[in-house]
Structure 1
Amino acid sequence: MAPSCFEVVLVAFILILPFLYETSRTFRYYFKFLVYYGIVMCNAVLLIPLMAFRPGNVKNLILASSLCHHISTLLGLRWELRGREHLEKDEACIIVANHQSSLDILGMFDIWPVMDKCTVVAKKEVFYAWPFGLAAWLCGLIFIDRMNSEKARSIINSATEHIKKEKIKLWIFPEGTRRNTGEIHPYKKGAFHVAISSQLPILPVVFSSYYFLSKEEKRLDSGRVVITTLPPISTKGLNISDLEALMDKTRNIMAEVYHSTSREIHQSLSSTKSYVK
């Protein structure tokens, strides 16, 4: 029986894929993100029945990370964790991290077994991206409306007692919007309100520059990222009047580490290129 037109087109597409991947940076950019999102969605479908046995349990995220952290290898990304001893402590805290891309999630998957019990504050729109959104809900993620800061703060505050009791880490991106511009942008107050009101320490986590990623150039190359966990910043005895100073202190030390680790990687890349030449 002669092959159908669809089969011919499918075979031709499969044959041309390697050529497009090697010759077109734009194709490679979209293809890598398609692989990333596609595998995450497929894993969500596979895991939802298992997670349903313990809905809302943050330990489900360790299960998810065990399946998803291999995506980094497929994309050519390597994560290096520093300050592990701060991240593996069995205590509640508010993690604040810089936010450069959706690729941050892959870095989180890589270190989730170290964090053990950790949940994330996410925008409510994520919940509606099923099946991923449903899997995220089953993992105990906290969904907020970023357009309603009072309601968002109330939702987070109501979850704080459970977080403290169960010694769960709460991960928040205080910049709000992800921006890969080579800088750490001004912080929103939410994470610091929660830290002060709950008297929980702030644990800064810094991802070095995503020099390998450019949305404008449609470029996603292989790369190395240093994830640095800094010593916790105590909020004991602080009140709302200390909020701005706490924000500035946290952002300043994170910016310093961001720039130093990013310079280190750039220098390492330059040395490698010089050696190859």
Structure 2
Amino acid sequence: MITWLMYLLVTILFMIVLVLSSDSHDVIRFNVRFILYYLVSSIIALGSMPFILLRPKNVKNCRDLSVLLRQITKILGIEWELRGADELSIERGCIIVANHQTTLDILGMFNIWGVMGKCASVAKMEVFYAWPFGLAAWLAGVVFIDRRNSSKAVTTLNATSLLVKHEKTKMWIFPEGTRNKTVLKTGMLPFKKGAFRIAIENQVPILPVVFSPYYFINEKTRYFGRGKVIIHTLKPIFTDGLELKDVDDLIIRTRAVMLDAFEALTKEVLSPLPPDYPGQVL
């Protein structure tokens, strides 16, 4: 057992040194950065499980666990800037909708969870099976939905919405439903209706959150450098008096303000880059 742990520790230290040594296009370094992210996340999740079990399924577990998980940021060399923290920090029930580009979005959430406070994140069931992280996430209060079983997914979301309505808990949903790998071309994928139905049914506001593009990652050239991601919390969109027939209009209005913000953030982070920058460029 001790020998196995020593091998694991040496492997992690080697990977960290490799990650910190260069921002090249090297395929090995590119993959090692993601592997290190998943590996360290899993180790932290596994080590935290005894503490999570003291209050299982409590959304405060995610907030506390994020203190450790966000330290991975320092290894990967990503800087997170939160704008609109005053809106995000208000203790209220609301539905947070955010654009989704990569698994690193979760790392961004870890870095702002202390500001959010009580928040129940919604994730697809596939993440649950990525043990030990998935198991720890479930015990920490993450809500997993099976997109292949729509009726069961709706039941799960309705049950979670009670926390939003009665316990001033925020619910975080990626309305695109999947990662958008062509973000600089499409901006955002079409939004699914679930988050907006919940907001109207419970008469709670939609709180849009926009991540700027990960310009320092380029899967085609296998580049993963250092960079900054801006997380911008926009003004809430209130649903008082709206009915389910207004869902489509609410989606259109929400997506429009998020696209405007994304385009502005894209120009801000890309404009200072040199023409030969190896990451993503328009």
For the criterion TM > 0.5, the same-fold answer is yes
Is the 2:217–2:225 contact (alpha carbons within 8 Å) kept by the matching residues of 1?
Answer: yes
Is the 2:25–2:222 contact (alpha carbons within 8 Å) kept by the matching residues of 1?
Answer: no
**Displacement after TM superposition at 1:18 (Å):** 4.6
- Change in Cα spacing, 1:150 to 1:216, as seen in structure 2 (3 Å) is farther
**Displacement after TM superposition at 1:270 (Å):** 4.5
Alignment of 1:61-76 (within 5 A): 61-76=62-77
CA distance in 2, matches of 1:190, 1:242: 13
Alignment of 1:235 onto 2:256:
no
**Displacement after TM superposition at 1:163 (Å):** 2.5
Among 218, 227, 246, which residue is 2:222 paired with?
218
**Displacement after TM superposition at 1:218 (Å):** 2.0
| CA displacement, residues 138-168 of structure 1 (integer Å, 9 cap, x when unaligned) | 1111111112223212210122112322211
Is the 1:81–1:228 contact (alpha carbons within 8 Å) kept by the matching residues of 2?
Answer: yes
- Change in Cα spacing, 1:20 to 1:247, as seen in structure 2 (3 Å) is closer
The answer for the alignment partner of 1:269 in structure 2 is 273
Report how many aligned residue pairs link the two structures: 261
**AA matched with 1:50:** F
- Change in Cα spacing, 1:20 to 1:88, as seen in structure 2 (3 Å) is closer
The answer for the alignment partner of 2:59 in structure 1 is 58
Alignment of 1:81-92 (within 5 A): 81-92=82-93
CA distance in 2, matches of 1:173, 1:46: 28
**Displacement after TM superposition at 1:263 (Å):** 0.5
RMSD: 2.3
**AA matched with 1:200:** V
TM-score normalised over the length of structure 2 = 0.87
The answer for the alignment partner of 2:26 in structure 1 is 25
**AA matched with 1:83:** G
97-106 or 126-135, which deviates more:
126-135
CA distance in 1, matches of 2:163, 2:258: 28
The answer for the alignment partner of 1:199 in structure 2 is 203
**Displacement after TM superposition at 1:133 (Å):** 1.2
Alignment of 1:110-259 (within 5 A): 110-181=111-182, 182=184, 183-259=187-263
**AA matched with 1:139:** A
Identity of aligned residues (%): 47
The answer for the alignment partner of 2:280 in structure 1 is none
Q: Secondary structure at the match of 1:67?
A: helix
Q: Unpaired runs of 5+ in structure 1?
A: 1-6
TM-score normalised over the length of structure 1 = 0.89
| CA displacement, residues 248-270 of structure 1 (integer Å, 9 cap, x when unaligned) | 10001000100101101112334
**Displacement after TM superposition at 1:64 (Å):** 1.2
CA distance in 2, matches of 1:194, 1:150: 14
Q: Unpaired runs of 5+ in structure 2?
A: 1-6, 278-282
CA distance in 2, matches of 1:217, 1:154: 42
Q: Secondary structure at the match of 2:273?
A: helix
CA distance in 1, matches of 2:265, 2:19: 35
Say which one has the larger Rg. Answer: 1
Is the 2:52–2:139 contact (alpha carbons within 8 Å) kept by the matching residues of 1?
Answer: yes
**Displacement after TM superposition at 1:241 (Å):** 1.1
**Displacement after TM superposition at 1:180 (Å):** 2.8
**Displacement after TM superposition at 1:216 (Å):** 2.7
**Displacement after TM superposition at 1:136 (Å):** 0.5
**Displacement after TM superposition at 1:21 (Å):** 6.0
